Amino acid sequence: MSDYIILKAQNVSKQYRLGVVGTGTIVHDLNRMWHKIRGKQDPYLKIGAINDRSATASSNYVWALQDIDFEVKRGEILGIIGKNGAGKSTLLKILSRVTSPTTGSIKTRGRIASLLEVGTGMHPELTGRENIFLNGAILGMTKAEIASKIDEIVEFSGCQMYIDTPVKRYSSGMRVRLGFAVAAFLEPDILVVDEVLAVGDAEFQKKAIGKMQDISNTSGRTVLFVSHNMAAVQDLCSRVLLVEDGSIVYNGNVEDGIKRYLESNLSHKAKVNFDLNSLNETSIRSFSLKSESGVITSNFKSGELPVFSIKLFFKDHLNNPSFSIRISDAFGANIVTWRSLYFINSPLSEVKTGEYELQIKPEKLYLLDGLYNVSISLLEGKVPLDIKKDFISFNVSSSRPSSDYITISRSLSSNCILFSNSEWNIQKL
């Protein structure tokens, strides 16, 4: 393994048996072991079985990971992205030596610190301070080395008042902050971070991402980062792995990897009818995207925007109904919001019991090429009655050279929303 390669995975696979705790009988285990020693295929796996998580398995076994190969260089921040259940967390557990692969091997240089789940590595009966020393000892550090870092760890975690309190009394956010601080400040050669940062507040997320960048840039350490927050992945990572159904389907440039992931995730339907648990409840019944000529479509040119057509049902007369629609980009950044509350006389102020069709026609807005998500909500005052988040997407393609546009850089810390004029019409059906 090259001096510049700090982690190497070769033909790594992980198999689990469905519906069974443990591995079965001793005979069963010995038979599998004997086949493995001889380099033979597992005798209990059906020939030609497809590793498809969405279909009912034809075998009692499933490959959580299959034939994983990749290398990570020293000082690199590698993002690992994919849908829930794709195998990302299983891969991190194998890399962290929490579990072993069924086949293949992992080669690493130096110490590995992991933050995989809330409270990982924390003994609930020990205090925060005692857990810091425990984790340092596990990493092979001396008591003096840990003591020299403890003030920085406590300050970064923000748990100064509770550092001598048993961890079992910490909130999930406090456990994550302390766990991350311990993993980051005890100077591991490889820092493994799963989606647990989603538990922390915005301020802590910003601090954590800054710390990971510092670990990589100034200390030359390696970070493996799993997240569903594509803005964080883009800001932080130098390369991404895209995992689907236990296999790596993309290994390379961050922007291309994110684009491929998002395109595989998003629905390109131009009309959605919502499942109704109760036909008599106030709710959003359907939503469609239309061109200005009334054609249902999910493809638009820059400068065009969809006409949004929404069917609403009101069980009773509402005192203060409101409706909002938001467009966000594929990275989750809010782009534009329209709300009925912006009107002096709300278009929904006269609605009574029954079904209505609401049409919202925005003014022109020049969006860059890409995919955009739509979220909608129906409220009475501040009380949400029905919310649909990122349930439909549309594509924008440019009809002009990109040099005609001013691009506002996307940033994890930005929280900008553009408010645009729009024409609202509502009629009873």
SS3 assignment for 213-264: HHHHHCCCCEEEEECCCHHHHHHHCCEEEEEECCEEEEEECHHHHHHHHHHH
In this prediction, residue 8 carries a pLDDT of: 92
In this prediction, residue 412 carries a pLDDT of: 42
- Measured between alpha carbons, how far is 14 from 35 in angstroms, rounded to an integer? 16
Secondary structure (DSSP) of 308-344: EEEEEEESS--SSEEEEEEEEETTS-EEEEEEGGGSS
Contact 358, 349 (CB under 8 A): no
For the chain, the domains span 68-265, 271-428
User: Which one is the CATH code of 271-428: 3.50.50.60, 2.70.50.60, 3.10.450.50, 3.40.50.300?
Assistant: 2.70.50.60
Please give the C-alpha separations between residue 194 and each of 70, 119, 143, in angstroms, as whole numbers.
18, 12, 28
What does DSSP say about strands 61-73 and 112-115: parallel, antiparallel, or unpaired? Answer: unpaired
CATH number of the structural domain 68-265: 3.40.50.300
Q: What is the residue type of 375?
A: S
Termini Cα distance of the chain:
70
SS3 63: strand
Q: What is the residue type of 180?
A: F
Closest Cα partner for 9 from 261, 248, 233? 248
Closest Cα partner for 423 from 336, 379, 358, 356? 358
Per DSSP, the chain holds a count of helices (H) and strands (E) of 8, 20
Span 376-390, pLDDT tens digits: 998 888 888 888 888
In this prediction, residue 316 carries a pLDDT of: 81
In this prediction, residue 43 carries a pLDDT of: 64
Please give the C-alpha separations between residue 272 and each of 230, 287, 426, in angstroms, as whole numbers.
25, 5, 19
Stated as kind and residue range, the H or E segment containing 137 is helix 128-138
Q: What is the residue type of 365?
A: L
- List beta partners, residue 378: 323, 386
Contact 81, 241 (CB under 8 A): yes
CB-count exposure of residue 291 (10 Å: 0-12, 13-18, 19+):
middle
- Measured between alpha carbons, how far is 216 from 76 in angstroms, rounded to an integer? 6
Secondary structure (DSSP) of 263-278: HHHS---SEEEPP-S-
State the greatest distance between any 2 C-alpha atoms of the chain, in Å, as a whole number.
78
Closest Cα partner for 319 from 282, 292, 356, 289? 282
Span 50-98, pLDDT tens digits: 454 445 445 567 788 989 999 999 989 999 998 888 888 889 889 888 8
Q: Which residues of the chain have pLDDT under 70?
A: 1-3, 18-25, 28, 41-60, 117-120, 196-201, 265-268, 276-280, 344, 398-420
In this prediction, residue 212 carries a pLDDT of: 86
Contact 76, 236 (CB under 8 A): no
- Measured between alpha carbons, how far is 423 from 362 in angstroms, rounded to an integer? 6
Q: What residues contact residue 319 under an 8 Å CB cut-off, 6+ apart?
A: 380, 381
In this prediction, residue 166 carries a pLDDT of: 93
